[in-house]
Amino acid sequence: MLRRRSNSKNAHSFLFDSTQTSIKTASFYDAYLLDPTDLGRGKFAVVRKCTEKCTGRVYAAKFLKKRRRGKDSRPEIIHEIAVLELAKPCPHIVDLYEVYETGHEIILVLEYIAGGEIFNLCVPERDEAFSENQIVRLVRQIIEGVYFLHQNNIVHLDLKPQNILLSGVDSAEDVKIVDFGLSRKLSETIALREIMGTTDYVAPEILNYEPISTSTDIWSIGVICYMLLSCEAPFVGTSVQETYLNISQLNVDFSDDSFTSVSQEAIDFIKCTLVLNPRDRATAGDCLSHPWLQQAEISHCHGSILCGIQSGQAATNYKKTKTRCDCNQKNVNDQEDKENLSDCSTPCKRFRIDDAEQSV
């Protein structure tokens, strides 16, 4: 994962600084029984299944370190909590139940999402291949979640198949977006420029140290779609540098065998998201109006989050997207800055292994 703050003076402009949830200082272990097996691990967090003693309900407890690389990370955790609070009305974003704090960590008690990462659908040896129709349904839900965030001026900035979970084990289940640790609120006055994200999914503007916007998430959605449909990562090279070069030159190929049974509409959809210039990229609203996603049943975020983009505006939005996509240029962006980035990425096009250097 890439994480480099460029301008610490402004860093806090992009974070919420308070929460509505009261942060409990009582013992988490008095209220919950912790399952010893990890559900997942990130760089600074471990997620474990737990059971609330008084109700028997199962949750996922995310243990976050308050100090990371010698720095106080409490403000970023407070921001993560605030974003989860804001996203409560959206059914495609993980629900936050309660929060505990100890001397060295903050514990988020989250809705337990049982079906695992959609990453498991992106590997060729997956148990059950999802049909394109099933993928349409999942992608539509991911974009509904992202649309909700963008409507609220929040960018996720770490969308990847490991952060999108299936609510249950079969293909009819819903998806939920997790991990708002890198999310930021956009400011009207200050441009957000940070080197952050995960190698294979980062947008060219991140590599070029150009302003980040809601379009940055759309690029990652394009990468996720490509992976779900082909089980291959579109930009992965034999080295991290080669991956960055592939991203900044838009070296993406749809002619591979793995795309033979993929519909032209699906390819057209991905091409609207993997566009070098963020201003020419489809927005989340444009994506929802794209014919490929119009096949999916329309699900409803509470509070009419999606109203106004489901029917009448669809054709207009799609036309707009199409014009943007047709303008797509294969520019080679400025490479400066990229040699400073480090991350691990496997040289194999099909797999990516996350670096898991952390413990809680």
94 binds ligand ATP (CB under 6 A): yes
Q: Is 62 in the site for ligand ATP (CB under 6 A)?
A: yes
Nearest-angstrom CA–CA distance, 98 and 114:
19
| Of the candidate residues 14, 28, 42, 225, the single one contacting ligand ATP (CB under 6 A) | 42
Applying CB under 6 A, among 162, 183, 213, 289 the residue interacting with ligand ATP is 162
Give the Cα separation of 227 and 357 in Å (integer).
25
By CB under 6 A, residue 66 contacts ligand ATP:
no
Shortest Cβ 129–ligand ATP spacing (Å): 21
Closer Cβ to ligand ATP, 120 or 258, answer by number: 120
List 2, 39, 284, 325, residue binding ligand ATP (CB under 6 A): 39
Q: Measured from the CB atom, is 156 or 324 closer to ligand ATP? A: 156
Return the beta strands (E) in the chain as ranges: 2-4, 23-24, 32-41, 45-52, 58-65, 67-68, 71-72, 96-101, 105-111, 154-155, 164-166, 175-177, 184-185, 195-197
DSSP 3-state of 289? helix
Is residue 158 flagged as an active site residue? yes
Of 179 and 205, nearer to ligand ATP (C-beta) is 179
112 makes contact with ligand ATP (CB under 6 A): yes
Task: Tell me: does residue 28 bind ligand ATP (CB under 6 A).
Answer: no
248, 204 Cβ separation under 8 angstroms: yes
Give min distance, CB of 189 to ligand ATP, in A. Answer: 28
**Residue 47 interacts with ligand ATP (CB under 6 A)?**
yes
Q: Applying CB under 6 A, which of residues 117, 144, 194, 286 lies at the interface with ligand ATP?
A: 117
**Using rule CB under 6 A, residue 76 touches ligand ATP:** no
DSSP notation for 110-153: EE--TT-BGGGGSSTT-SSPPPHHHHHHHHHHHHHHHHHHHHTT
- Verify binding: residue 44, ligand ATP, rule CB under 6 A: yes
Based on DSSP, count helices (H) and strands (E) in the chain, helices before strands: 10, 14
Paired tokens of 244: 């960055």
Residue 225 Cα distances to 126, 136, 247, 274, angstroms? 16, 9, 16, 10
| Sequence-distant (≥ 6) Cβ neighbours of residue 268 within 8 angstroms | 290, 292, 325
Pick between residue 178 and residue 206 the one whose CB is nearest to ligand ATP: 178
Residue 90 engages ligand ATP in binding (rule: CB under 6 A): no
Amino acid letter, 95: D
Sorted by sequence, the CB contacts under 8 Å of residue 308 that are 6+ apart come out as: none
Distance CA(177)–CA(150), nearest Å, equals 14
Q: Which of 19, 163, 220, 283 binds ligand ATP (CB under 6 A)?
A: 163
Q: Least distance (Å) from ligand ATP to the CB of residue 272?
A: 27
Q: State which residue, 17 or 357, has the beta carbon closest to ligand ATP.
A: 357
Does 159 sit near ligand ATP (CB under 6 A)? no
Q: Is 62 known to sit in a ligand binding site? A: yes
Confirm or reject binding of residue 197 to ligand ATP (CB under 6 A): no
- Tell the smallest beta-carbon distance from residue 314 to ligand ATP (Å): 32
Q: Is 45 in the site for ligand ATP (CB under 6 A)?
A: yes
Size of site (CB under 6 A) for ligand ATP? 23
Q: Which two tokens stand for residue 297?
A: 């049943």
Tokens of 20: 């509505």
Are the CB atoms for 26 and 98 separated by under 8 Å?
Answer: no
- Left (φ > 0), alpha (ψ -120 to 50) or beta: where does 18 sit? beta
The two three-digit tokens of residue 193, written as one number: 């420029």
- Return the residue nearest ligand ATP (CB atom): 42
Q: Binding residue for ligand ATP (CB under 6 A) from 98, 144, 179, 286?
A: 179
Residues of the shown chain interacting with ligand ATP in the complex, contacts defined by CB under 6 A: 1, 39-40, 42-45, 47, 60, 62, 94, 110-113, 117, 158, 162-163, 165, 178-179, 181
Residues in the annotated binding site for ATP: 62
Catalytic (active-site) positions: 158
